[in-house]
């Protein structure tokens, strides 16, 4: 069992999150690849990607890195970036405590700190490239892989983002979720 010391909401700057990475080993298969997120360098250095940082116990670092290296094997590589912790607002304080999140005031890393992320570069074989929302949705709606349905991955990510930072709007993520839900509804109405 991995010992997590804390998890903390915050963001990185100068990146955008996009569903431009094919998944042939987790949320799809080679004959029907799913789509998963990657982070891309943005033209705007102030763009932000929100998420959760985890502090892992020193004795667990090697096993966690090995697990992540295996999971992110489809064209991803590790990169160090600056993470900006965010104090939970009154609006999301209840969600934060329910999720076991802490505020930056509750731990030693009040200022931005370095962490490791995984990014899929545009020259990797699984990079699908910029596709419109409807095209990406058409790949996600029917893709399944060893880790489950691609729709589940999208819906859980969207839900998590609304829970941890309700005031932050990720246009690409939420537009894609809406497009896939429309396809899902159409599919269910045909059944």
List, by residue number, the catalytic residues. 72
How far is residue 38's CA from residue 106's CA, in Å, rounded to a whole number? 30
CATH of the domain at 134: 3.10.490
- Decide: helix, strand or coil at residue 69: helix
Domain region containing 30: 4-190
Higher pLDDT among residues 12 and 187, named by residue: 12
110 contacts 10 by C-beta, under 8 angstroms: no
Q: Say how many domains are in the chain.
A: 1
Q: In the chain, pLDDT over 70 holds for what percent of residues? A: 82
**8-state DSSP, 132:** -
**8-state DSSP, 26:** S
**What are the residue ranges of helices labelled H in the chain?**
61-71, 93-99, 133-140, 150-164, 171-190
Q: For 132-179, write each residue's pLDDT tens digit.
A: 999 999 999 999 999 999 999 999 999 999 999 998 999 999 999 999
pLDDT of residue 182: 98
- What pTM was estimated for this model as a whole? 0.81
């Amino acid at each position: 069992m991995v010992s997590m010391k804390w998890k903390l909401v915050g963001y990185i700057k100068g990146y955008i999150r996009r569903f431009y990475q094919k998944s042939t080993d987790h949320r799809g298969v080679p004959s029907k690849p799913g789509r998963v997120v990657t982070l891309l360098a943005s033209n705007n250095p102030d763009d932000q990607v929100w998420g959760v940082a985890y502090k892992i116990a020193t004795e667990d670092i090697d096993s966690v890195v090995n697990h992540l290296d295996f999971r992110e094997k489809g064209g991803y590589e590790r990169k160090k970036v600056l993470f900006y912790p965010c104090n939970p607002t009154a609006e999301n304080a209840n969600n934060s405590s329910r999720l076991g999140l802490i505020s930056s005031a509750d731990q030693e890393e009040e200022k931005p700190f370095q962490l490791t992320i995984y990014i899929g570069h545009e020259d990797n074989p699984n990079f699908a490239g910029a596709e419109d929302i409807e095209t990406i949705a058409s790949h996600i709606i029917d893709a399944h892989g060893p880790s489950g349905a691609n729709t589940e991955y999208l819906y859980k990510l969207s839900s998590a983002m609304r829970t941890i930072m309700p005031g932050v709007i990720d246009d690409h993520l939420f537009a894609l979720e809406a497009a896939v839900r429309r396809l899902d509804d159409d599919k269910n109405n045909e059944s």
